[in-house]
Structure 1
């Protein structure tokens, strides 16, 4: 006779919620996945999902095994406004990737390159947790903002691939501030320069 009611053990319940969340986010995307659907799949009450993880964005970050909370990092980067944001963004990215958090981030990128499910999760992470937050906090033309944000993402992902995954020299061992000074202006142009030149 199957048991009903609450799942036994906190760890089993937490893992069931995370498995259901990963499936929902990969299949339906961040926006269409709901806490209620995730709870139903996990066989728990939605209140229990909130108890363990809080809001949907926190559940998503945990399911992604995100090495950092991008909301906090982005707040620091955009607090100075549009002027100089290119250098601040590159410096923050390199600081994260040069830290122990970079090891798990590199594993996520490697997995996304070879697995469709991981690629969908990484795309959702970049779109919902990074790009949307940057767009929301900067005073960008709403008709241009998505293209500008995706150009920034393409530049940063290229830098990550070359420096941390492929380890292309001399980029792989170049000093952080050299990269901030050389890549930062490109990011700045993507965010504040004309797009038709």
Structure 2
């Protein structure tokens, strides 16, 4: 480290006002190219031209930086904690209540809708959303409660999330009536059987048998 003529050691110059945004831009690019697990803090800092310590300073951790790239209004870990606090029997209800609480909340709903709209038009954002699903949802208490083999668990969670996200898109983006006009309690009541079946119901699909009769009536 360089010293001044007075003998005092000089530290790194403080980051520019746009340093934080530059880190987020670099992280968003690397997360999209390499994925969350393979994008190191050091690599992100190198791409942004900053000291890795600045990432900890601004975001606390790589997970915090990942959240910043999505501009989420709530920590995914907090959502997972809420869902995990209870029994397996009540899991579908907790998932629905937590999900709707985030999407319908006055503080979180508009920001989540903005994230969703970006995700529908930006392939990089879609990939980041997919990664956060894999990182936080597939490896969460939901998977433990569903408790089957890994492929079956992924399918069940994916089916449940498809039901929930589909309703959000119909309600918030497309404004489909009467879905958009239902109260939150009504929506939860309609979703409960579908999400319960996705988690615990019979998913066996009979194999289709080709019609080889070749005959005519």
Q: Give the gaps of 5 or more residues in structure 2.
A: 1-10, 206-217
Q: Which residue, 176, 182, 190 being the options, matches 1:174?
A: 182
Separation (CA, whole Å) in 2 of partners of 1:118 and 1:104: 14
Paired position in structure 2 for 1:157: 165
Q: Would you tell me which structure has more helix in proportion to its own residues?
A: 1
Instruction: Please state how far the C-alpha of 1:181 moved relative to its aligned partner.
Output: 1.4
Paired position in structure 1 for 2:18: 12
Q: Which residue, 130, 133, 137 being the options, matches 2:137?
A: 130
Instruction: Please state how far the C-alpha of 1:174 moved relative to its aligned partner.
Output: 0.5
Tell me the C-alpha RMSD between the 2 structures. 2.0
Higher-Rg structure is 2
Separation (CA, whole Å) in 1 of partners of 2:161 and 2:70: 18
Instruction: Please state how far the C-alpha of 1:134 moved relative to its aligned partner.
Output: 4.1
Separation (CA, whole Å) in 2 of partners of 1:196 and 1:177: 31
SS at match of 1:132: coil
Equivalent residues of 1:39, 1:45 under 8 A apart: yes
Alignment: residue pair count: 193
The aligned runs of 1:32-181 (5 Å cut-off) are: 32-99=38-105, 100-135=107-142, 137-138=144-145, 140-143=147-150, 144-181=152-189
Separation (CA, whole Å) in 2 of partners of 1:142 and 1:45: 42
Q: Go from structure 1 to structure 2 and tell me whether the alpha carbon gap of 1:85 and 1:139 turns closer, same or farther (over 3 Å shift).
A: closer
Q: Give the gaps of 5 or more residues in structure 1.
A: none
Q: Go from structure 1 to structure 2 and tell me whether the alpha carbon gap of 1:15 and 1:80 turns closer, same or farther (over 3 Å shift).
A: same
Q: Normalising by structure 1, report the TM-score.
A: 0.88
Instruction: Please state how far the C-alpha of 1:7 moved relative to its aligned partner.
Output: 5.5
Separation (CA, whole Å) in 1 of partners of 2:69 and 2:103: 20
Instruction: Please state how far the C-alpha of 1:110 moved relative to its aligned partner.
Output: 1.4
Runs of 4+ in 1 over 6 A off after TM superposition: none
Q: Go from structure 1 to structure 2 and tell me whether the alpha carbon gap of 1:37 and 1:194 turns closer, same or farther (over 3 Å shift).
A: same
Instruction: Please state how far the C-alpha of 1:26 moved relative to its aligned partner.
Output: 1.2
